[in-house]
Structure 1
């Protein structure tokens, strides 16, 4: 699955790459080169980050599902236990 950014996000990312180069590198980077670099990162490194995020979400969801029984558990056949407790309290 290719990781793609919406146009506005892509433009913001390209501008960020250009700013980084302006402030941290000896030579600035142009719009086309910054876009190509972004494309490389999205294709080469993006899947690693994406897969890690999916694994993190799966882990959190599994933990929540494991707790589900504790959160919504209802005792079965509890009517008579409740009735007997009320009867003993008289």
Structure 2
């Protein structure tokens, strides 16, 4: 897996959320620079857990939909004698 990279707009939105969380929940101020370092840390150290869960969820959905498709194909079969 390659490093997780966000666009500048995504980074700005995430930084704003981190700063807001620190302010509202922890009653502490955090600068944008520090918030970006925190985001980078979480992306590198914890991001793979979320990524892998997403892959597992996608795989599970794919299997379910494949089974449904198989049943739909079986319904199209014509009777033979």
Tell me the TM-score normalised to structure 2 length: 0.85
For the pair 1:11 / 2:30, whether they are aligned, the reply is no
By how many angstroms is 1:67 displaced?
Answer: 1.9
RMSD: 1.6
Q: TM-score, normalised by structure 1?
A: 0.77
SS at match of 1:43: helix
Which consecutive unaligned segments of at least 5 residues does structure 1 have? 82-90
Number of equivalent positions: 79
Question: Is there any run of 5+ residues in structure 2 with no aligned partner, and where?
Answer: none
Match of 2:66 in 1: 65
1:75 positional shift? 2.3
**TM superposition outliers: structure 1 runs of 4+ over 3 Å:** none
